[in-house]
Amino acid sequence: MSKRHSHKHRKKEPVERISMSLSPDLLSEFDKSMKSAGFSDRSKAIQTALHSFIAQYDWDKGEDSRNGAGAIMMLYDNHAYNHDSESTHVQHHYSDIISASTHLHLDHDNCLETVMVKGEIRRIKELAKKLSENRGIKSLKVHFVSVV
């Protein structure tokens, strides 16, 4: 006989039902996209889209006192960027928001580093700016989500 595991579930938040008007073309594109992304119903897909919209809005408008989490991804020239001194030095000043980092050798010349962060948007933006100023950085992208 198998044992059933009891899981603590968060109390469900009350939800509000809303209505929206969309053009048939937009609805068709949304339905195709949500199915391709693996969503089984519109509500969950719309909730996910709204979370992404809010996170991007918070990031863009500079709502710096809010908290969020994300990843800073850097592609850099392995020969021009001194990872051991430059990146490590900067990251030590932001240890309050850095949860982890990974380093991947892509080829002889290129490396990808991902820094996972959580904390105030202001601090995440500061860290991204400092890292982007280092010589050898070819590309730096921040993927950010609001903690709502």
Closest CA to 124 of 55, 77, 76: 55
- DSSP classification of residue 11: P
92 is in an annotated binding site: yes
Q: Is-contact 83 21, C-beta < 8 A?
A: no
Residue type, 52: S
Q: Which two tokens stand for residue 86?
A: 């430059």
108 is in an annotated binding site: no
d(CA 98, CA 90) in angstroms, rounded, equals 11
Closest CA to 66 of 146, 145, 142: 146
Residues annotated in the binding site for Ni(2+), as ranges? 92, 103, 105, 111
Residues annotated in the binding site, as ranges? 92, 103, 105, 111
